[in-house]
Each structure stands twice: as C-alpha cells, then as structure tokens.
C-alpha cells in the first residue's frame, strides 16, 4: 500500500508539499495527500491495469534496458483489473524516489474526483505557486492528482533503484 506520509518524501519535496498545503489553505481549498512513496511492485500493479499482455511485455522489455529487475517485476505481478491509471511502469514514476505525491481536493469531507470540478484548477495553480510540476498540465497523459519536483528525471534514477 502506498504511503501518505510526507516524511517519505525527499526533504526539499516535503518542504514544497507543506508549502503547497499552506497555499491551498489560503485559497480555502481542503486537500488530502493520499500517496507519497509507492513501491516498484505497487507501481507495476498500477501500470498493468487496463493493458493487454502485448503492451505489458513491450514495457517490460523497455524497463529491462534500464534495470532488468524492473522488467521482471512487471511480468511477475500478474494480471490486474481496472482502468488505466498511470502511464509509468515501475521505476518510471517519481513516487519511487520520494519526488512526487498525489492529492485530491475535498468538499465537505469528500474527495472531488471529477475532472470538471473547478477545484482542480485551483489545486493546479496552488501546486505551481509552490514550485511543483502539476501533471494536470501534461498533454500526453493528464493526471490531475499528481505533483512532482520539476526537473527530476526517472531515467537518471532508475538504474540505481532496488527491487
């Protein structure tokens, strides 16, 4: 299970996450950070959701070029059910390195998941003000909950990731 603890973030990322929460509070936006660290195994399970085996094998081959154990891990977690929730395989998400978190705006104690809810725009603006990269601005695979440290590249981190 993924961690919710800000203590699992790198020190500078933890500082930005706290700054983000403060900016959200000033904007009268209640936010729940529900994922900080995510293990490579959990990331493999999430990646497999909604994908066929051909696509999964292709991703495993790609991962083996960077870190053979991660490609093997992706194949070993078995079938997963549900919709696609991430474009990142194990080792390809900054969650595995302490450089990302996922959050959700809250209204009356309930998570607001609808992408049409205007609170997401406020969430994104607060993230950017805190010096974060907001994945709601991405064009290839938009992920409204995801915020990460700008300039960090999993391609530079993956070779040293332990499985």
**What range defines the domain where residue 29 resides?**
1-38+101-163
Based on the domain organization, do 63 and 46 belong to the same domain?
yes
Same domain, yes or no: 74 and 114: no
Same domain, 105 and 160: yes
The SS3 call for residue 4 is coil
How does 11-24 read in b/e, with b if 16+ C-beta sit within 10 Å?
A: eebbebbebbbebb
Global model pTM greater than 0.85: yes
The tally of domains found in the chain comes to 2
Q: Are residues 114 and 136 in the same domain?
A: yes
* Rg value, the chain, Cα: 16
pLDDT digits (tens, 9 = 90+) for 13-72: 999 999 999 999 999 999 999 999 999 999 999 999 999 999 999 999 999 999 999 999
Residues 72 and 60 in one domain: yes
Task: Give yes or no: residues 23 and 56 share one domain.
Answer: no
């Amino acid at each position: 299970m993924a961690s919710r603890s800000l203590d699992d973030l790198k020190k500078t990322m933890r500082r930005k996450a706290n700054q983000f929460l403060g900016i959200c509070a000033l904007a009268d936006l209640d936010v729940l950070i529900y994922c900080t660290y995510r293990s490579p195994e959990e990331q493999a399970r999430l990646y497999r959701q909604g994908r066929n085996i051909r696509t999964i094998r292709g991703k495993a081959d790609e991962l083996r070029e960077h870190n053979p154990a991660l490609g093997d891990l992706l194949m070993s977690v078995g079938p997963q059910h549900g919709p696609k929730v991430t474009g990142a395989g194990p080792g390809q998400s900054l969650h595995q390195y302490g450089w990302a978190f996922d959050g959700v705006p809250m209204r009356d104690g309930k998570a607001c998941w609808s992408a049409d809810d205007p609170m997401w725009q406020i969430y994104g603006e607060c993230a950017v003000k805190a010096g974060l990269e907001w994945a709601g601005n991405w064009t290839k695979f938009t992920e409204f909950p995801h915020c990460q440290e700008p300039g960090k590249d999993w391609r530079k981190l993956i070779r040293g990731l332990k499985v």
